[in-house]
């Protein structure tokens, strides 16, 4: 979806990411090539860089305010470059999203995961969702579920277990037998409880046809939560059970396939690009969220999370300082971690998102 190759993403320093963004400003991509759109593109990126630089020099008490307005200004650059927005529709006004429950109660009593967000009919968040052809939050959406969509959250989860997670997608091993009309892929992690396993957790030698059908139905329903996977199918071996592999955490890797003409050069790589998002060196499919039929987008995930944290910091400063104290709150370490990661992840994500929308029409 991004249409551009990035190297060594997991260790790319923020300074290099900002330099990549600065290199776009003399000749912006997409529809930001001239006039007011070019001016907006350059100014918004300059503001975003300055705000994130300032955010790196303060602690958790103030960092979400600066980081959110940094990604918010970057959103204006995204809109200016977007190829699917006309010269009137690219202008952004207002956040377009709000906290749906009582912030004071969240600040004092409840876990941060219970805060929820919902979008307005207009404003930055639904407008960017439209540009990115991604999920907006039509229904109140738990912060814990949004948080769980990021691979980074695995180390510091707000919820156990995470209800919504990104799938990692890869082309199946070259040893897998291929047909000319299909691209075999593996997806993971697929929860173990969707599989028919023996009491000791092992894969049985055989299953009844009824168990095979039930297992495939459960996995099919689960993968149906990931819209960008599109029209996929199980390998054509009717009546045979799936043969999962397992990762180090015990989650299943399941083989499925896309219909594609493999006689076309690069068909496998093209199918992977069409159905996934590259995120920090991981090829992912994100689930739908917020009452939308569309998939979440990592730019909007970060945008909305930083918005929520900035609102708590701005309007409930006393309880925010308490919430970010590692001696007083079990949310403090996850918050610190997320805010630290935002400084490294978001600049490169801004660049990717600009390249993505510039190619839309």
| pLDDT tens digits for range 344-353 | 999 999 999 9
Same domain, 33 and 118: yes
Whether residue 208 is contained in a domain is answered as yes
pLDDT of amino acid 290: 96
Same domain, 258 and 330: no
Whether residue 2 is contained in a domain is answered as no
Whether residue 1 is contained in a domain is answered as no
Report how many domains make up the chain: 2
CB atoms within 10 A of CB 298: 24
pLDDT of amino acid 77: 98
Query: What DSSP string describes 309-329?
Result: HHHHHHH-HHHHHHHT-TTT-
Same domain, 22 and 51: yes
Same domain, 153 and 296: yes
pLDDT of amino acid 7: 40
Domain that holds residue 68: 9-161+289-358
Where b means 16+ CB within 10 Å and e means fewer, 261-277 reads ebeeeebbeebbeebbb
Same domain, 54 and 149: yes
Same domain, 271 and 308: no
Whether residue 48 is contained in a domain is answered as yes
| pLDDT tens digits for range 230-258 | 999 998 765 577 888 888 888 899 999 99
Q: Give the domain-ending residue among 229, 250, 285.
A: 285
pTM of the model: 0.92
Beta carbons of 212 and 233 less than 8 angstroms apart: no
Same domain, 154 and 243: no
Same domain, 246 and 310: no
Whether residue 195 is contained in a domain is answered as yes
Higher pLDDT, 319 or 109: 319
Question: What is the three-class DSSP state of 97?
Answer: strand
Same domain, 106 and 175: no
pLDDT band at 308 (very low <50, low <70, confident <90, very high): very high
Distance CA 292, CA 143 (A): 16
Whether residue 4 is contained in a domain is answered as no
Mean pLDDT (the chain) is 89
Q: Which residue has the tokens 């990931």?
A: 226
Higher pLDDT, 56 or 282: 56
Q: Give the domain-ending residue among 251, 285, 319.
A: 285
Helix (H) or strand (E) holding 221: helix 209-223
Q: Which residue has the tokens 């970057």?
A: 74
Whether residue 3 is contained in a domain is answered as no
Same domain, 213 and 343: no
Whether residue 310 is contained in a domain is answered as yes
Closest CA to 145 of 170, 116, 118, 171: 116
Q: Give the domain-ending residue among 256, 285, 314.
A: 285
Same domain, 312 and 229: no
Same domain, 199 and 144: no
| pLDDT tens digits for range 147-201 | 999 988 888 888 777 778 999 999 988 888 788 888 999 999 999 899 998 888 8
Span 19-23, average pLDDT: 94
């Amino acid at each position: 979806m991004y249409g551009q190759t990035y190297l060594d993403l997991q260790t790319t320093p923020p300074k290099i990411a900002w330099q990549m963004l600065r290199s776009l400003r003399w000749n912006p991509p997409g529809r930001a090539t001239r006039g007011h759109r070019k001016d907006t593109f350059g100014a918004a990126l300059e503001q975003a860089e300055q705000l994130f630089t300032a955010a790196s020099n303060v602690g958790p008490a103030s960092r979400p305010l600066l980081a959110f307005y940094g990604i918010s200004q970057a959103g204006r650059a995204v809109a200016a470059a977007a190829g699917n927005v006309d010269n009137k529709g690219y202008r952004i006004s207002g956040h377009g999203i709000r906290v749906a429950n009582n912030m004071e109660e969240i600040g004092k009593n409840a876990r941060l995961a219970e805060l929820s967000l919902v979008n307005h009919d207009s404003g930055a968040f639904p407008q960017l969702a439209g540009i990115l052809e991604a999920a907006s939050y039509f229904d109140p959406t738990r912060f814990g579920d949004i948080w769980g969509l990021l691979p980074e959250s695995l180390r510091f989860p707000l919820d156990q277990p995470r209800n919504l997670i990104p799938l990692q997608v890869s082309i199946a091993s070259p040893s897998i037998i291929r047909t000319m009309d299909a691209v075999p892929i593996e997806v993971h992690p697929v929860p173990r409880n969707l599989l028919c396993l023996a009491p000791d957790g092992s894969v049985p030698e055989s299953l009844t046809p009824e168990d095979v059908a039930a297992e495939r139905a459960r996995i099919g329903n689960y993968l149906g939560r990931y819209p960008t996977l599109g029209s996929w199918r199980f390998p054509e071996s009717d009546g045979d059970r799936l043969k999962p592999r397992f990762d180090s955490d015990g989650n299943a890797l399941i083989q499925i396939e896309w219909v594609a003409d493999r006689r076309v050069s690069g068909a496998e790589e093209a199918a992977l690009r069409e159905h996934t998002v590259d995120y920090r060196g991981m090829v992912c499919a994100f689930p739908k969220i917020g009452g939308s039929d569309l998939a979440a987008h990592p730019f909007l995930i970060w945008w909305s999370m930083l918005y929520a944290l900035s609102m708590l910091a701005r309007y409930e400063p006393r309880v925010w300082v308490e919430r970010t104290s590692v001696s007083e709150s079990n949310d403090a370490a996850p918050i610190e971690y997320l805010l630290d990661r935002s400084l490294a992840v978001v600049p490169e994500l801004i660049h990717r998102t600009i390249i993505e929308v510039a190619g839309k029409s």
